[in-house]
Amino acid sequence: MNEKIVPVHILTGFLGSGKTTLLNKLVADAKERGLKLAVLLNEIGEVNVEAELLGGDVPMAEMLGGCICCQLRGDVAMELVRIVQEHRPDVVWIESTGIAQPLDIMDGVAEASLYARVALSGVVTVVDARHLLDRWRIGAGRTLRLMIEQIRAASVIVLNKTDLIGTEERNELLVALADWNANARIYSAVRSELDAGLLYNAGNPLPPAAREPHACGEHCDHSHDHTEHRHEHLHDHVNALTYYWTRSVDSEAFEAFLARLPEGVYRAKGIVTFSDTTGQFLFQYAYRESDFMRITPQNTVHDVAVFIGEGFSEADLRAELDKLSGL
C-alpha cells in the first residue's frame, strides 16, 4: 500500500495552439530536475510525427488513427496502465489531439486508476490568442464551442502567441477567459515559453514554484497577492478526485453517500470492498443513478473511487470519504 500514486496531466488545446512545443519544454524541464516523465501522444492521423521530436529516451505510448476522446477513449486507460507499470514514471503527460473533448479524456484517466495507482492532477489548456480572438468575435461555430470547452476544463490556461495581438486585445481575451473559467491560473506566453514548474500544482512531485500573478482584465479590482486563494480553489471547477480506500466500507452507507453526491458530480466509478458482504464490487455512477457488479479479479486490484465533475468541493468530498473509511 506504500506504492506511490503517479500524477497524470492532460495537455489540451485546439489545433496549432502550441501544445507540442510546450510538451518538449516539459520533457527538457523534467530531465533537468531528475524526474522520469512519460508521455501518451494522440494523433488523428495514422502517423505521429511529433513523437520523433521528443527523442527515444522518453517512455511513450502512441494512439493513432482516431481521437482519444471518442474512437480511442477505451485505449487511453490501457495504455496509461501499461506505461506506468512498465516504466514507473514520476509523472505522465497526455497530449491529446486538438479536437479532443477534455472531460472524456479525464474519464479515461479515471478508468486507468482502477488498475494502477494513478490520479489526474491537472489539465493544461494551450490557447492560440489570435485564433481564439478571431473565433470569439465571429461569435459562433463548433470550433469556438470546442475551444471554450477546453478552456473550461483547465486548471491552468496558457494564453500563447500573445505577440500576435495587441495589449487591448490581450486584456479583452483575459476578461473572456476569466468569464469562461474563473478558477484556472492563466499565464501569457510567446512560443509556449514559460517556466514549466508553473504548470504543476502542489500535489505533484515538482518543488513549489513561484506563481505568476493571475492575469486579470480591465475589470479586475482585487489584489494580485492571492496565490493561496487560487490554490484553495484550483480544483473547484472541472475536476477529478481519485481516492484510494484503506479499508472496507459499509454498503448501505456507501449507497447513501452516492445518492447525496452534489449535482456537479457527473460521473463516478471505482472498486470497493464492503464490510458487510464478501468480494469486491465495481460501481458506476452517472446521472444520479448507480450500479454495482461483483467482480473476481485474477490479479490484485486496489479499492479506489474516482469522481469527475464540475464545481464540487474536493475537500468536502474527501472528508465524507474519510468518514466512510472510519478515518
**What is the predicted pLDDT for the residue at 213?**
36
Q: State whether the Cα torsion 27-22-42-45 is positive or negative.
A: negative
Indicate the SS3 state at residue 223: coil
Q: State whether the Cα torsion 28-30-35-36 is positive or negative.
A: negative
Residue 305 in grid coordinates: 473511487
CATH architecture type of domain 238-324: 2-Layer Sandwich (3.30)
Alpha carbons 253 and 250: distance in angstroms, whole number? 5
Query: For 97-118, what is each residue's pLDDT tens digit?
Result: 777 777 778 888 888 888 899 9
Confidence of residue 140 (pLDDT cuts 50, 70, 90): confident
What is each CA distance from 226 to 211, 212, 217, in whole angstroms?
10, 10, 16
For the chain, give every residue range classified as CATH 3.40.50.300.
Answer: 6-233
Confidence of residue 143 (pLDDT cuts 50, 70, 90): confident
Torsion of CA 8, 13, 18, 23, to 10 degrees: 10
The overall average pLDDT reported for the chain is 79
* 8 Å CB contact between 118 and 92: yes
For the chain, give every residue range classified as CATH 3.30.1220.10.
Answer: 238-324
Q: How many helices (H) and strands (E) does the chain have?
A: 10, 12
Count other C-beta atoms under 10 Å from residue 113's C-beta.
28
Query: For 194-233, what is each residue's pLDDT tens digit?
Result: 999 899 864 444 433 323 333 333 333 333 333 323 333 3
Per the listing, cell 512560443 goes with 191
**What is the predicted pLDDT for the residue at 71?**
44
**CATH of region 6-233, choose from 3.40.50.1370, 3.30.70.20, 3.40.50.300, 3.40.50.720:** 3.40.50.300
Longest dimension (CA), the chain: 64
- Does 138 score more than 80 pLDDT? yes
Query: For 256-275, what is each residue's pLDDT tens digit?
Result: 999 999 888 878 888 899 99
Query: For 67-94, what is each residue's pLDDT tens digit?
Result: 444 444 557 888 899 999 999 999 999 9
**What is the predicted pLDDT for the residue at 231?**
32
Alpha carbons 59 and 17: distance in angstroms, whole number? 24
**What is the predicted pLDDT for the residue at 218?**
34
Alpha carbons 314 and 324: distance in angstroms, whole number? 15
Q: State whether the Cα torsion 51-159-97-309 is positive or negative.
A: positive
